[in-house]
């Protein structure tokens, strides 16, 4: 995975650890945070707000899919893709 | 970092959080990790500031016939939020109440008085009593929701509020209202959720597992109540925003009560200290405390303490104000079987005189 995606993923992981009282070892990066029981629907709202505020990426209605938000890996790729104007 | 000495009922020396609260730790003075700002709390000032700016933008565009659907429980917070919406923000509001069958009679009267005083339209929807009781029983007896969710709300209240939210969304889509208002305070919801787009399809996925469990317990009618048909969703061009206006106000509970009393609101005397509208709250709190060892209002009340909007003593008095003698009546109304009563530590239907001795385990 390229470095920018890894950097963004680390930022997202840090937010999840701080906000939802889990350790790095608790979080599987390629699985849905919801399926892992780490966040609920309010957690999704919080993650979306973090992406918009801290990573300067506007999350549109159409972006809110399992394809983009289905794991931290997918979220990081979505954010970097949007920052580069690819999505 | 040390754990607070573990006797039942131990609490932070500054706020109302108890030692049983998930992931909490205490320092040598008995101050919890939330009060020491070691854990993320919901009092994020920048999120509140951002929400205020969003409100300015969102409320600039008006809709007909209604700008907003207001989820009105008849409690003091939703009554005051309705007042804010109408008088401070000038919104055209359709007030909506879901009558779960356990609304205090005084709260019903409060709803009528407040909407009449403010001059807003109002509708009440009452779901099938048989269905609703099955849902509440399932929340009490089965593990339906995630630990994250149950830190700030009981399972019974969560199931009820999810139903309210779904009904409000259907109403907003039907009426073309771009806003859904509710009277949540910080502590009940995260700061980043003061305003959020109600993207039903997206959130539905996050609720899939809990809905599957609820459906398995209650039946397929869960989809009728907690779902929105594809035919409706396919027509959606823009989902409404959920807005919690009360989170933008720096106001104490006494000040809220003083303001809504001018609208004709009266405090019910047949509910517990943490509710101003719903009699079932006592049952939901009892089940939660017995199962998890902490009161579901601790997070919200502790937030108010840290903000200086409530004293610790006031918060503890609210938590202690639980009319446990009502549990027998509530168990009867919920039609709990003897096995279900036993599983929840409630007295037998034949031994109602013992009901006053019911205490949460933790």
Q: Quick one: pLDDT at residue B355?
A: 45
Residue B92, burial from CB neighbour count under 10 angstroms (0-12, 13-18, 19+): middle
Distance from CA of A34 to the nearest CA of B (A): 6
Report yes or no: A53 at the B interface, CB cutoff 8 Å.
yes
Tens digit of pLDDT for each residue in B228-273? Answer: 988 888 888 889 999 999 999 999 999 999 999 999 999 999 999 9
Tens digit of pLDDT for each residue in B277-313? Answer: 999 999 999 999 999 999 999 998 998 898 888 999 9
Closest residue by Cα to residue B182 from B50, B84, B284? B84
Tell me how many residue pairs between chain A and chain B have CB atoms under 8 A apart.
58
- Which of A46, A54, A63, A68 is the best residue to mutate to test the B interface, defined by the most B CB atoms within 10 Å of its own CB? A46
- Given an 8 Å threshold on Cβ–Cβ distance, is A64 in contact with B239? no
| Calpha distance B247→B185 (Å, rounded) | 5
Eight-class DSSP state of B4: P
Residue B222 has pLDDT above 70, yes or no: yes
Average pLDDT over residues B339-362: 70
Report yes or no: B25 at the A interface, CB cutoff 8 Å.
no
Distance from CA of B162 to the nearest CA of A (A): 11
- Given an 8 Å threshold on Cβ–Cβ distance, is A64 in contact with B209? no
Chain A residue numbers with beta carbons less than 8 Å from the beta carbon of B149 are 40, 42
Tens digit of pLDDT for each residue in B197-215? Answer: 888 887 777 778 889 999 9
| Calpha distance B285→B255 (Å, rounded) | 25
- Given an 8 Å threshold on Cβ–Cβ distance, is B192 in contact with A40? no
Phi-psi region of B298 (alpha: psi -120 to 50; beta: other; left: phi over 0): alpha
**What CATH class is the domain B45-248?**
alpha beta
Tens digit of pLDDT for each residue in A3-53? Answer: 999 999 999 999 998 887 788 888 999 988 887 878 877 888 888 888 988
Whether the bond into B65 is cis, omega within 30 of 0: yes
Any idea where the domains of chain B sit in the sequence? 45-248, 323-362
Q: Quick one: pLDDT at residue B38?
A: 58
- Given an 8 Å threshold on Cβ–Cβ distance, is B202 in contact with A19? no
| Calpha distance B111→B95 (Å, rounded) | 9
Q: How confident is the model at residue B358 (pLDDT cuts 50, 70, 90)?
A: low
Tens digit of pLDDT for each residue in B133-153? Answer: 999 999 999 999 888 789 889
Nearest to B202 among A42, A50, A64 (CB): A64
Q: Quick one: pLDDT at residue B361?
A: 47
The total of structural domains in chain A comes to: 1
Report yes or no: B147 at the A interface, CB cutoff 8 Å.
yes
Q: Is B189 helix (H, G, I), strand (E, B) or coil?
A: strand
- Given an 8 Å threshold on Cβ–Cβ distance, is A18 in contact with B203? no
**Residues of chain B with pLDDT > 70: what percent?**
92
Residue B329 has pLDDT above 60, yes or no: yes
Residue B362 has pLDDT above 60, yes or no: no
Q: Quick one: pLDDT at residue B351?
A: 62
Which stretch of B30-39, B54-63, B77-86, B333-342 has the lowest confidence by average pLDDT?
B30-39
Tens digit of pLDDT for each residue in B138-197? Answer: 999 999 988 878 988 999 999 999 999 999 999 999 999 999 999 998 877 888 889 988
Q: How confident is the model at residue B9 (pLDDT cuts 50, 70, 90)?
A: low
| Calpha distance B315→B339 (Å, rounded) | 34
Stronger pLDDT, A8 or A70, i.e. the higher one = A8
| Calpha distance B88→B258 (Å, rounded) | 17
Residue B70 has pLDDT above 90, yes or no: yes
Say which CATH number the domain at A50 has. 1.10.1200.10
- Which of B148, B151, B244 is the best residue to mutate to test the A interface, defined by the most A CB atoms within 10 Å of its own CB? B148
Nearest to A45 among B23, B145, B196 (CB): B196
Average pLDDT over residues B49-60: 92
Domain hosting A11: range is 3-83
**Chain A residue with Cα closest to B239:** A61
CB B179 within 8 A of CB B95: no
Q: How confident is the model at residue B42 (pLDDT cuts 50, 70, 90)?
A: very low
Report yes or no: B238 at the A interface, CB cutoff 8 Å.
yes
Chain A residue numbers with beta carbons less than 8 Å from the beta carbon of B203 are 41, 44
| Calpha distance B245→B275 (Å, rounded) | 19
- Phi, then psi, of B195 in degrees rounded to 5: -135, 130
Residues in a beta bridge with B98: B125
Which stretch of B1-15, B150-164, B180-194, B327-341 has the lowest confidence by average pLDDT?
B1-15
β B195-197/B241-243 pair status: antiparallel
Average pLDDT of the residues of chain B: 90
Q: Quick one: pLDDT at residue A87?
A: 65
């Amino acid at each position: 995975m390229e470095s920018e995606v890894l950097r963004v993923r680390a930022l997202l992981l840090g937010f999840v650890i701080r906000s939802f009282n889990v350790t790095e070892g608790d979080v599987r990066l390629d699985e849905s945070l919801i399926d892992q029981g780490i966040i609920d629907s309010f957690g999704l709202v919080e993650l979306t707000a973090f992406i918009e505020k801290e990573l300067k990426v506007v999350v549109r209605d159409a972006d809110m899919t399992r394809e983009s938000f289905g794991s931290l890996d997918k979220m990081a790729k979505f954010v970097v893709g949007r920052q580069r104007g690819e999505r | 970092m040390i754990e607070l000495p573990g006797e039942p009922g131990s609490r932070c020396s500054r706020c109302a959080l108890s030692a049983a609260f998930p992931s909490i730790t205490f320092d040598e003075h008995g101050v919890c990790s939330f009060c020491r700002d070691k854990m993320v709390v919901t009092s994020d000032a920048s999120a509140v500031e951002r929400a205020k700016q969003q409100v300015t933008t969102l409320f600039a565009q008006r809709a007909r016939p209604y700008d907003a659907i207001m989820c009105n429980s008849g409690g003091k917070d939703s009554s005051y939020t309705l007042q804010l919406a109408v008088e401070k923000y000038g919104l055209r509001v359709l007030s909506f109440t879901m009558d779960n069958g356990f609304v205090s009679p005084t709260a019903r009267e409060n709803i009528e008085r407040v909407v009449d005083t403010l001059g807003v339209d109002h509708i009440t929807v009452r779901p099938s009593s048989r269905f609703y009781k099955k849902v509440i029983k399932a929340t009490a007896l089965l593990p339906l929701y995630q630990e994250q969710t149950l830190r700030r709300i009981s399972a019974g209240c969560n199931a009820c509020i999810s139903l309210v939210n779904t009904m409000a969304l259907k109403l907003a889509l039907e009426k073309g209202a771009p806003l859904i208002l509710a009277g949540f305070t910080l502590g009940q919801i995260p700061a980043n959720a003061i305003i959020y787009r109600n993207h039903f399809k997206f959130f539905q996925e996050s609720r899939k597992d809990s809905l599957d469990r609820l459906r398995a317990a209650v039946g397929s009618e869960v989809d009728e109540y907690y779902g929105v048909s594809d035919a409706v969703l396919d027509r959606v061009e823009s989902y409404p925003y959920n807005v919690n206006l009360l989170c933008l106000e720096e106001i104490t509970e006494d000040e809220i009560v003083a303001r809504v009393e001018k609208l004709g609101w009266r405090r019910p005397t047949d509910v517990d200290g943490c509710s101003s509208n719903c009699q079932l709250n006592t049952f939901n709190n009892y089940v939660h405390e017995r199962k998890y060892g902490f009161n579901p209002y601790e997070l919200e009340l502790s937030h108010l303490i840290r903000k200086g909007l409530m004293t610790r003593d006031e918060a503890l008095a609210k938590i202690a104000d639980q009319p446990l003698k009502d549990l027998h009546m509530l168990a009867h109304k919920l039609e709990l079987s003897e096995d279900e009563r036993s599983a929840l530590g409630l007295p037998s239907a034949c031994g109602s005189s013992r009901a006053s001795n019911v205490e949460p385990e933790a």
